[in-house]
Amino acid sequence: MEWLQQQLQTYLPLISENNLIQASLIFLFAAIASKIARAIIERIHVHAAGRTANPLDDHLFAILQRPVGVSILLIGTYLALLKSQLIVDQMPLVESVLVTIAVFYWLRCVLDGARFSLRLLSGDESRLKVVQSHTLPLFENVAVIIIYGAAIYFIFVAWDIDVSAWIASAGILGLALSFAAKDTLANLFAGVFILADTPYKIGDFIVLDSGERGKVTHIGIRSTRILTRNDVEVTIPNAIMGNTKIINETAGPSSKYRIRVQIGVAYGSDIPKVRAALLKAASSIETVEADPAARVRFRTFGDSSLNFELLCWVAEPVLRGQVSDLLNEEVYNEFNRQGIEIPFPQRDVNLRQIPPKE
């Protein structure tokens, strides 16, 4: 601003010595510069729109035109009034008013740009996963509070209002609120980290330390909801979800889920025949995946049986209960057809007669 005043004091006297004429020229130059600046931004806007597919730069250039043009015009108005020397004593008041007007124009511009940017991010989860449709209102409200706080600060500075007491009061109030709502804040921050880290997502089947297993139906800022196989919805605070071990049955390179069926056969059974019977039982069920192929493992020698385990895959975890039921039934029927014995624990009890005492 000082450099600009020096330039005006150097060149304006070459045109006229009259202060009012010089003030009129300053205002005229400011109005022309405002129009030129808006035209330049418009040209850049048109040029950028043809070279990029991102709507963000187009929108930013569009909303920048008015605050830039108004700011140049307000600077010209201030310099013109200063040069006219008509209201020298009122210039601090004029400066405060003009700065306040500029702050309001820039406030509207920044708010518009922030909201547009957040909505653009919420529509493309590959850019910033934490900003999603259901978290968008939170981030919009945080952005509005920060932007309004900055605008109020600049207005206070323009009017020479001491903001140190206000800042101290806000700090004490924030500290009191943080203690009063520590559980809510813990859930909120945990929700943000869950959305950013994505240990699970909507549609995943998860198992918690406490034993709950179900499909994730909602991930919010405060809580996560899962729907169990009994169609019971369980709501869990995010602070708990952030501090517990979670088994995500859907995560990994594939959404397929492996089912284990343990079965024991009698000692003396033909092991290759048992393997073939188990694989045949698995292949007869349509919901069992052909790739990866089912396999059989001979695990241990039990007290009364040779213990085998049938391993096969289903398309998604939700099929676990249904396919386990079908596999158990088909294995039992196949063993009966092939005469493979399924033993059960037996105990021999020997009774001895104790001779009577003489």
Give DSSP secondary structure letters for 250-311: S-SS-S-EEEEEEEEE-TT--HHHHHHHHHHHHHT-TTB-SSSPPEEEEEEE-SSSEEEEEE
> What is the reported pLDDT for 284?
93
**SS3 category, 199:** coil
Phi, psi of 341 (to 5 degrees): -85, 135
Residue ranges making up the domain that contains 293 = 257-338
Residues 138 and 229 both lie in one domain:
no
Task: Measure the CA–CA gap between 266 and 262, rounded to whole angstroms.
Answer: 14
Distances (CA, A) of 115 to 56, 110, 134, 139, 144: 11, 9, 15, 9, 9
**Residue 113 contacts residue 59 (beta carbons within 8 Å):** yes
Is residue 261 in some structural domain?
yes
Place of tokens 């708990």: 240
Residues 101 and 48 both lie in one domain:
yes
The residue out of 248, 274, 291 marking a domain boundary is 248
Residues 83 and 6 both lie in one domain:
yes
> What is the reported pLDDT for 5?
59
Is residue 141 in some structural domain?
yes
Give the count of domains, the chain: 3
Q: What is the CATH number of the domain that holds 239?
A: 2.30.30.60
Residues 32 and 89 both lie in one domain:
yes
Pairing assessment for the beta strands 246-248 and 233-237 based on DSSP bridges:
unpaired
Is residue 351 in some structural domain?
no
> What is the reported pLDDT for 205?
92
Is residue 187 in some structural domain?
no
Residues 136 and 33 both lie in one domain:
yes
Residues 223 and 168 both lie in one domain:
no
> What is the reported pLDDT for 11?
58
Is residue 343 in some structural domain?
no
Residues 314 and 216 both lie in one domain:
no
> What is the reported pLDDT for 86?
80
Is residue 344 in some structural domain?
no
> What is the reported pLDDT for 228?
92
pLDDT in tens, the chain (358 residues): 566 656 666 656 556 677 788 888 888 989 999 999 999 998 887 777 667 767 887 888 889 999 999 999 999 999 888 888 888 889 899 999 999 999 999 999 999 999 999 888 887 755 666 777 767 777 888 899 899 999 999 999 999 888 787 777 777 877 787 777 788 888 888 888 887 788 898 899 999 988 889 999 998 888 999 999 889 999 999 999 989 999 998 887 787 899 999 999 999 999 999 999 999 999 999 999 999 999 999 999 998 899 999 999 999 888 989 999 999 999 999 999 999 999 987 677 777 777 776 6
Picking from 90, 94, 91, 77, the residue whose alpha carbon sits closest to that of residue 23 is 77
Q: Which two tokens stand for residue 4?
A: 């600009």
Residues 8 and 85 both lie in one domain:
yes
> What is the reported pLDDT for 350?
75
Tens of pLDDT, residues 66-89: 999 999 999 999 988 888 888 888
Is residue 163 in some structural domain?
yes
Q: What is the CATH number of the domain that holds 267?
A: 3.30.70.100
